């Protein structure tokens, strides 16, 4: 029987680059059906369609960043158990990436042209968080998910009422993000310091404002 080969740092690098290229190219597969499938297809005028597309592009960028964060935190995690946790969360978040990409196509739009920039920035942040240790890295997850959940709640208020498909996706994403944040707390997350939370909030504002248009 052949002995199982352990992955080397080069293997991990190759896998990481492959994941990054697939995310930035918009290649994602969902393990769950899109929530939009069970929602009615409401009629949107041109302005409402552009607005919904802008909001869903922002949400898609958020999922690009989530993939980068979880990929980097998994790669630099201090324990195998924590690495497995980040990898599992990343797989669950890939559903969101696929759902938002599909909805953008249905709305006649496209993902952000700046996805490589967003991915690189989020990967750098995740790498930095991982260097602080698993508990603080989990704290970074808690704060990220808290901000994302708040942001998605805001989108539910801004999306056109008749856009039931986009709203169904955003609501399911909101529930999932809350669950991921709670899972990180249950694993013993240490809260991110206030200055870090402020920096994360400021960076998120730049991203959401820009991605709505580009």
- pLDDT tens profile 42-58: 999 999 999 999 999 99
Quote the CATH superfamily of domain 42-211. Answer: Ferritin, core subunit, four-helix bundle (1.20.1260.10)
CA neighbor of 163 nearest in space, from 55, 59, 47, 42 = 42
- Write down the pLDDT at residue 81: 84
1, pLDDT greater than 60: no
Confidence of residue 26 (pLDDT cuts 50, 70, 90): low
36, pLDDT greater than 80: yes
- Write down the pLDDT at residue 46: 96
**How many CB atoms within 10 Å of residue 62?**
27
Using DSSP, state whether 81 is helix, strand or coil. helix
* Residue 198: its H or E element: helix 194-211
Q: What is the pTM of this model?
A: 0.88
CB 102, CB 49: distance < 8 Å? no
User: What is the per-residue pLDDT across 162-180, written as a single tens digit (0 to 9) for each?
Assistant: 999 999 999 999 999 999 9
User: What is the per-residue pLDDT across 61-92, written as a single tens digit (0 to 9) for each?
Assistant: 999 999 999 999 999 998 888 888 888 888 88
153, pLDDT greater than 90: yes
Using alpha carbons only, give the angle 39, 40, 46 rounded to the nearest 5 degrees. Answer: 115
Secondary structure of 7-60 in the HEC alphabet? CCHHHHHHHHHHHHHHHHCCCCCCCCCCHHHHCCCCCCCHHHHHHHHHHHHHHH
- How far are the Cα atoms of 9, 101, 111 from residue 28, in angstroms, in the given order? 25, 9, 13
- Write down the pLDDT at residue 98: 95
Confidence of residue 29 (pLDDT cuts 50, 70, 90): confident
34, pLDDT greater than 80: yes
Token pair of 105 as six digits? 């196509």
């Amino acid at each position: 029987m052949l002995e199982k080969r352990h992955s080397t740092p080069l293997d991990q690098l190759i896998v990481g680059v492959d994941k990054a290229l697939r995310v930035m190219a918009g290649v994602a597969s969902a393990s769950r059906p899109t929530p939009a499938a069970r929602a009615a297809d409401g009629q949107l005028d041109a302005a409402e369609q552009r607005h919904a597309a802008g909001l869903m592009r922002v949400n898609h960028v958020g999922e690009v960043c989530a993939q980068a964060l979880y990929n980097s935190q998994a790669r630099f995690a201090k324990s195998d158990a924590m690495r497995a946790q980040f990898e599992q969360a990343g797989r669950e978040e890939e559903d969101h990436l696929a759902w938002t990409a599909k909805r953008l196509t249905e709305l006649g739009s496209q993902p952000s042209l700046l996805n490589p920039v967003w991915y690189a920035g989020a990967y750098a942040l995740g790498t930095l968080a991982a260097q602080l240790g698993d508990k603080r890295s989990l704290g970074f997850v808690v704060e990220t998910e808290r901000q994302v959940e708040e942001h998605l709640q805001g989108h539910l208020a801004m999306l056109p009422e008749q856009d039931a498909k986009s709203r169904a996706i955003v609501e399911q994403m909101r529930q999932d993000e809350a669950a991921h944040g709670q899972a990180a707390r249950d694993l013993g997350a240490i809260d991110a310091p206030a200055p870090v939370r402020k920096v994360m909030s400021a960076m998120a504002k730049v991203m959401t404002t820009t991605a709505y248009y580009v």
